[in-house]
Chains A and B, each alone.
Chain A
């Protein structure tokens, strides 16, 4: 069964550094998402992406965050200048492009640790 793939599984970065989290969505999917889960808390929506532009973003997704689909297969989340509070599990998800009840499929997540 096709899967959403995320790399790396664990990223350790110094505060203030830029970090890029990578995702390869399921190949025929058209809608892409990033979610965040701070340890012990619920999963929170960050951003949705369709047709090469952001469809919706949450209050968390400020100017330090950006997303890109650079080559038609990868979907990346960039944090420009990381803060301690950015430490979390980041999940990528994708969904098929019709209007039916297709669910979002999640990757295994990237654990981001900011030192």
Chain B
């Protein structure tokens, strides 16, 4: 079974600075997707960024980028120019693909990293 590990329960960053959140995963599959979701205090789950395993190029979304190292099974999230609104729990997720009933999938989540942004 796939597992996702986030080794940093909490991180903090100064406003306007850069922070990197770590994520490692374990899988025997060669084709899969990885995601970072943000969960602010309001508790909703918001997609931040996604990465296809077959793509060597790292995904970027404005101030958010990833460092995807497939061989090392590492998928870190870099937040540049941190803003107060970035404060949240960040969950790394692996998308498992199970071919059944026309195809289904589930997300396997890490335990999350709580990011604090200091003014």
Pair A50/B101 contact, Cβ less than 8 Å: yes
Count residues on chain A whose CB falls below 8 Å from chain B CBs: 29
> Could you say which residues of chain A place their CB within 8 Å of the CB of B93?
43
The main secondary structure of chain B at its interface with chain A is strand
Contact with B along A102-115 (1 / 0, CB 8 A): 01111111010000
Are A55's CB and B108's CB within 8 A? no
Interface residues of B in 89-119 (CB under 8 A from A): 91, 93, 98, 100-112
Q: Chain B: how many interface residues by the 8 Å CB criterion? A: 27
A91 within 8 A of B: yes
Taking CB atoms, residues of chain B closer than 8 Å to A104 are 107
- Give the nearest-CB partner of A58 in chain B: B106
Cβ of A53 under 8 Å from chain B = yes
Looking at B20-28, B37-45, B69-77, B79-87, the stretch in contact with chain A turns out to be B37-45
Query: B111, A103: Cβ atoms under 8 Å?
Result: no
| Interchain Cβ contacts under 8 Å between A and B, 10 examples | A43-B91, A55-B98, A55-B102, A56-B98, A58-B106, A89-B43, A91-B45, A101-B33, A108-B44, A109-B44
Residues of B within 8 A of A (CB): 33, 35, 37, 42-47, 50, 52, 91, 93, 98, 100-112
